[in-house]
Amino acid sequence: MKKSLVLAMAMALGVTASAYAANPFSDVPAGHWAYDSINKLAAAGVIEGYGDSTFGGDKLMTRYEMAQIVAKAMAKGANVDKLAAEFADELDNLGVRVANLEKKADNVKVTGELRYKYMSKKDDANDGQSFENDLRSRIWVTGQINDDWSYTGMIENTQDFYGESANKGDEDTSFQRAYVEGKIGGLNVTAGRYNAFFANGNIYDARVDGAEVSYGDKVKVTGFAGKGTDAAGTDAESNGTYAGGELSANFNKLNVAAGYVNFTDIKATSAQHETDLDDAIWYVGADYNFGDVTLSGMYLKGDASENGEDVTDVNTDGWTAG
């Protein structure tokens, strides 16, 4: 600070130091530049020191001490407006530093969730398993990189309690989400491992390693590309790669969308053999919000092929994707 708080407080009280008794603090010599101001404030009862005849002028002041001094000065008739004007720059800088500190303190948030699942099912349709019995735990980490960008991470572990399950005892903990969201110019960007949601989930609703870019608000254009990573077991290639786009518009209660997604190298089971499929899917849909009820509809048309030839005998129950 350009001037000490003590000096400014003394000036705000508007009385000369010579009207008071000698300075009571042993660590403030008579020749010190703030001697008169400290003398004045001590005599006026605004400052008391540390109870051992010392003032402690080199010590940092706490917010509690600051509040006590200002309150006493106001009670003695100090000109608070004059104090504020005297320390305007310092107070502004302090406000910025406190705001930045608060922002950094809230920068990282860690949350968690647990989900227990028990599902009974017919074993002849589910590889001989008559039920599922597992506990899934997740830890989420979110925060701000700067004003325009944020990050999200999530690790997951699933404990399988079913004795005959193929992965019992082999459960591991892995990153299921790790992505950033932000703006580049007028574009909204999501990139990393996140949950993709194509055609209201009718085409895909699971995690991917990819990127998504959109532009607009009421009318929005979105483009996306990446690799599906929600395959069961270790076969991360089962979902294949994808690329596509969507045009959507919001008319208050009515939302409409049309788009295209092209998947390549999707592992599936045909009547003869396991194959890598390509599938180009067009869709158009709309939903209308009636308040508590939303009516939705969507039409999709796919064109599955293998090596450029149409495929019609795919058994969807045989897909390895989870």
Residues 128-180 pLDDT 10s: 567 778 888 999 999 988 889 999 999 998 888 765 555 565 567 888 899 99
CA distance linking residue 281 with residue 269, whole number of Å: 19
Average predicted confidence (pLDDT) for the chain: 76
Mean pLDDT check: name the lowest of 1-5, 85-89, 129-133, 215-219. Answer: 1-5
Residue 317 predicted with pLDDT over 50 = no
Under a CB-based contact definition with an 8 Å cutoff, are residues 112 and 138 in contact? yes
Give yes or no for a contact between 160 and 134, defined as CB atoms under 8 angstroms apart: yes
Sign of the dihedral through C-alpha 180, 181, 183, 189: positive
The answer, yes or no, to whether residue 296 has pLDDT greater than 80, is: yes
pLDDT of residue 318: 40
Distance between CA atoms of residues 250 and 220, nearest Å? 9
Contact yes or no for 242/221 (Cβ under 8 A): no
Tokens at residue 280, please? 């180009």
**Could you give the C-alpha distances from 261 to 89, 258, 274, 279, 301, in angstroms and in order?**
57, 11, 22, 8, 11
What is the average per-residue pLDDT within 280-308? 88
Q: Is the pLDDT of residue 96 over 70?
A: no
Rounded to an integer, what distance in angstroms lies between the CA atom of residue 13 and that of residue 37? 10
In tens, the pLDDT along 5-51 reads 555 555 555 544 444 456 678 888 877 877 777 777 777 777 777 77
Which range of 57-71, 75-89, 201-215 scores highest in mean pLDDT? It is: 201-215
pLDDT of residue 309: 67
Q: Is the pLDDT of residue 82 over 80?
A: no
pLDDT band at 4 (very low <50, low <70, confident <90, very high): low
Model confidence, pTM: 0.59
User: How much is the pLDDT for 316?
Assistant: 47
